[in-house]
C-alpha cells in the first residue's frame, strides 16, 4: 500500500529524512516510533501530499506521490489531481482540529458533502454509523467544546473514515490526551485494525504497538535504525540507539 525507496526530505539545508526505505502491506498495522525530531511526522506528511519529497521514490497503492510517470519522465501533479489522491488517505493528528462551530455529526458529514458532493441524507446516515462505531452515537449533537479530548479524537477518526480512505495515518493520536482517555481511542484503532484497515501509526504507546502492530520501525535522525515484528523489536532490540530509546519510554 505504501512503498518508500531511499526517500529524502530537506527543509532548506537541513536534511530531515535521509533515505527511508520501507513497505506497508495492505491491511497492515505499521507502527512508527522514535525520538522527537526524528522525522516521523514529516514522513507521514510526505505520504499525505502535505510535503514533497526531495529525493527517492514514494508511492501509495502503486502510484507515485505527487508525480505522474510517463515515458520515463516525471510530471508534477496538478493541485486538483493531488486533491483527488488525498481523498483516499485519512489522517488523524495529535490535536483533533475539529470544526468548533459544527456538531460531531456535522464534522463527520462535512468532507463527503463538500468534497465528494454527496447528498446530505447519505452523508448523515454514514456519519451516524461512524459515530456509533467510535462509541459516540449519543454525542452526535454535541459541539467539540462539549466533548472530552478522547471523544473529540474519536470524532476526528470518524471524520477521517467518512471519506472511506484506503489508508489511515495516525500521528501520535493519543499524545495530547489525559491518560484515562487514551484507552478508548486505542480501542477504536484496534477495531479498525481488526476490520482490515491499512494503518500507519506514529505512537509512544508501546503496548498498542506490541498487541496490534504487524510491523514496527524505529526511526532516529531521519533514518530507519531498526524494523521488524513489534514483539521482537520491543523485547530484543538490536541497536544501541533503539535500546536507549526504549529504556526511556518503556
Enumerate residues 170-229 that contact ligand ADP by CB under 6 A. none
144 binds, among Mg ion, ligand ADP, none (CB under 5 to 8 A by kind): none
**Strands across the sheet containing 89-92:** 89-92, 167-171, 199-202, 29-33, 215-220, 223-228
What is the nearest approach in angstroms of ligand ADP to the Cβ of residue 139?
30
> Cell 508525480 sits at which residue?
67
What is the nearest approach in angstroms of Mg ion to the Cβ of residue 51?
12
In the list 2, 3, 38, 139, the residue contacting ligand ADP (rule: CB under 6 A) is 38
What is the nearest approach in angstroms of ligand ADP to the Cβ of residue 25?
23
- Contact status: 39 vs ligand ADP (CB under 6 A): yes
Rg (the chain; Cα; Å): 18
Cell numbers linked to 57:
521514490
Residue numbers of the site for Mg ion (CB under 5 A)? 41
Question: What does the alpha-carbon distance between residue 34 and residue 4 come to, in Å, rounded to a whole number?
Answer: 18
Cell numbers linked to 235:
523485547
Cell numbers linked to 29:
498495522
What is the nearest approach in angstroms of ligand ADP to the Cβ of residue 240?
19
Question: What does the alpha-carbon distance between residue 19 and residue 5 come to, in Å, rounded to a whole number?
Answer: 7
26 binds, among ligand ADP, Mg ion, none (CB under 5 to 8 A by kind): none
Question: What does the alpha-carbon distance between residue 241 and residue 238 come to, in Å, rounded to a whole number?
Answer: 9
151 binds, among Mg ion, ligand ADP, none (CB under 5 to 8 A by kind): none
Q: Mask of contacts with ligand ADP, 40-79, x by CB under 6 A?
A: xxx-------------------------------------
Amino acid at each position: 500500500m505504501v512503498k518508500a525507496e531511499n526517500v529524502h526530505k530537506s527543509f532548506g539545508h537541513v536534511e530531515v529524512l535521509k533515505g527511508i526505505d520501507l513497505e506497508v502491506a495492505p491491511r497492515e498495522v505499521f507502527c512508527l516510533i522514535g525520538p522527537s525530531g526524528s522525522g516521523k511526522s514529516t514522513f507521514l506528511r510526505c505520504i499525505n501530499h502535505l510535503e514533497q519529497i526531495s529525493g527517492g521514490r514514494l508511492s501509495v497503492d502503486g502510484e507515485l506521490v505527487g508525480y505522474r510517470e510517463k515515458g520515463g519522465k516525471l510530471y508534477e501533479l496538478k493541485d486538483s489531481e493531488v486533491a483527488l489522491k488525498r481523498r483516499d488517505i485519512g489522517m488523524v493528528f495529535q490535536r483533533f482540529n475539529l470544526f468548533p462551530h459544527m456538531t460531531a455529526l456535522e464534522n463527520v458529514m462535512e468532507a463527503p458533502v463538500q468534497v465528494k458532493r454527496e447528498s446530505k441524507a447519505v452523508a448523515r446516515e454514514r456519519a451516524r454509523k461512524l459515530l456509533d462505531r467510535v462509541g459516540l452515537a449519543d454525542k452526535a449533537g454535541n459541539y467539540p467544546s462539549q466533548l472530552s479530548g478522547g471523544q473529540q479524537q474519536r470524532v476526528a477518526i470518524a471524520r477521517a473514515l467518512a471519506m472511506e480512505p484506503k489508508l489511515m495515518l495516525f500521528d501520535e493520536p493519543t499524545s495530547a490526551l489525559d491518560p484515562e482517555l487514551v484507552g478508548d481511542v486505542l480501542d477504536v484503532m484496534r477495531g479498525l485494525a481488526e476490520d482490515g484497515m491499512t494503518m500507519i501509526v506514529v505512537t509512544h504507546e508501546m503496548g498498542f504497538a506490541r498487541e496490534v502492530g504487524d510491523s514496527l520501525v524505529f526511526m532516529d535522525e531521519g533514518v530507519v535504525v531498526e524494523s521488524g515484528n513489534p514483539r521482537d523489536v520491543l523485547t530484543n532490540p538490536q541497536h544501541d540507539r533503539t535500546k536507549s530509546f526504549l529504556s526511556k519510554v518503556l
